Structure 1
């Protein structure tokens, strides 16, 4: 993950025989006075410091944050993963597929085109309610949904197998926020 550890913050936390990689904020002077939201950003910088895109100077700039000063350093944030719902996710998969096609036409390896961070798409906004008021309504609405959008679901199934770190949660599992909290969310 990280290629640099300029502050010696990288450590290991052992919990019941399982080791976790952690980055101790206390290794950075000034971290103790930051608000919690900026501590989250500081941990992200330490975790993703590579000496090129994210440097020790970026870490120092954030640790020296002054709420009254005019910002003078752009601080990069690198998400650990991306979650999308169907209306934003489908165009992303189309873009990735198009990029793969272009890379192949130029003689490159299309398998190198993948999301930069793990991406998960929850299909939750396209299901319509045609049947209601009976015990079989959910199942019947799902059947109708797959009939209406079968081609789209075939494409997304292809995307899930074609791209590294891309997963699709099918319709009928719940809304994206609930699915994220109950099934997908991971902690640092």
Structure 2
């Protein structure tokens, strides 16, 4: 995909001898004052500018965002990937298969029908528990699950091999949000475009309202309906107004005797009272560094409970520590750090 790049933001980031194409936010006047979450949206517009759906005027309107202004500018957000759970994801794959069948009937090449955005489906919602309290309970439950839904899993296995950029996480691996932060989320994505390796922020839409759990890892994402997710898989952007952003300042440390649950519920109560419906919530301040990643993910997971679209934590040393803990490569971790610092996304 060719980018117009009317502001001349395209550049190169060198990390340990490897070169990545990036779209520099500092080339846009006013970008420095934007909240972390809106910087991610700004980079998204810079990278996908086509002069028609995504224009220079939209980019400049976002860069001149005012905290107190009512949302009025509509932008087109193109998520880096699509996350699905099995109840809503299977119909999406069925639709893709139906498209291939229609292309075949018309005499075309069915292999041309593929997701344009990486799509990941985690099987967790439909899994039933038949055995518990024994050492082999997990294995027995998984075995029964494959017997019970064998046809569906055969279809998904076919889908994973037939479609490009489509990955299926089998049952028994954990819930979709846990798998997302521990395994699927990249924080910074890389993708080859026109023969050049491009780096850009990991963003996602998911077919579950609690997709926002990944916000704790510095990844902007939220839940959408199945039709919107399918459209995103096919490369269609999500239309949205530039959101209001609620800053939530954290100072000090969690006092002795207070649990993570206490913190999460207190934050939820405060945001409900303030009003966060349809807004981005962004956590900042010296206290952010003392919030463990697990707590950040829990707070992000609660975003639908206080009505916000997303509840973002910035990228910092805690983020890198979690990426390292969960087995991400050192190459990826160094890229995340270098990219975040270069783009003003580091806390």
**Shared fold (TM-score, shorter chain, > 0.5):** yes
Identify the residue that residue 75 of structure 1 maps to in structure 2.
75
The aligned counterpart of 2:121 is 121
For 2:36, the equivalent position in structure 1 comes to 36
Task: Please tell me whether residue 184 in structure 1 is matched to residue 188 in structure 2.
Answer: no
Residues 131 and 137, structure 1, Cα contact 8 Å, conserved in 2:
yes
Map Cα deviations across residues 78-136 of structure 1 (whole Å, 9 max, x no partner): 01110111111101001111111122222222212111211000001122111111111
**Partner residue in 2 for 1:57:** 57
Q: Does 1:12 align with 2:20?
A: no
TM-score between both structures, scaled by the size of structure 2? 0.52
2:172 is matched with 172
- Cα 1:2–1:11 shift into 2, 3 Å: same
> What's the CA shift for 1:182?
1.0
Number of aligned residues:
188
**Quick check: 1:23 aligned with 2:23?**
yes
Distance in structure 2 (CA, Å) of the matches to 1:103 and 1:72: 40
**Which entry has the higher C-alpha Rg, 1 or 2?**
1
**Contact 1:2/1:47, CA 8 A, preserved across alignment:** no
Query: How many angstroms apart in 2 are the aligned matches of 1:186 and 1:3?
Result: 23
Partner of 2:111: 111
Q: Please give the secondary structure, in 2, of the residue aligned with 1:116.
A: coil
Q: Alpha-carbon deviation of 1:26?
A: 1.1
Distance in 2 (alpha carbons) for counterparts of 1:72 and 1:179: 36
Deviations 1:37-74 (A, max 9, x none): 21110011112122333222221121122344454432
- What is the match of residue 142 of structure 2? 142
Which deviates more from structure 2 when the two are superposed, residues 138-147 or residues 122-131? 122-131
Q: Relative contact order (alpha carbons < 8 A, sep ≥ 6): 1 or 2 greater? A: 2
Structure 1 residue 144: Cα displacement: 0.2
For residues 26 and 159 of structure 1, the distance between their equivalents in structure 2, rounded to whole angstroms, comes to: 41
Query: Could you say what secondary structure the match of 1:76 adopts?
Result: strand
1 or 2, which has the higher strand percentage? Answer: 2
Determine if contact 2:2/2:50 at 8 Å carries over to the other structure: yes
Q: In 2, Cα distance between the equivalents of 1:69 and 1:3?
A: 29
Which string of whole-angstrom CA distances, capped at 9 and with x for unpartnered residues, describes residues 115-165 of structure 1?
121100000112211111111110010000000000000000111111111
Residue 103 of structure 2 aligns to a residue whose secondary structure is helix
Contact kept in structure 1, 2:160 and 2:167, CA below 8 Å: yes
Equivalent-residue separation in structure 2 for 1:148 and 1:71 (angstroms): 48
Q: TM-score, normalised by structure 1?
A: 0.92
Secondary structure of the structure 1 residue equivalent to 2:76: coil
Moved more, 67-76 or 118-127: 67-76
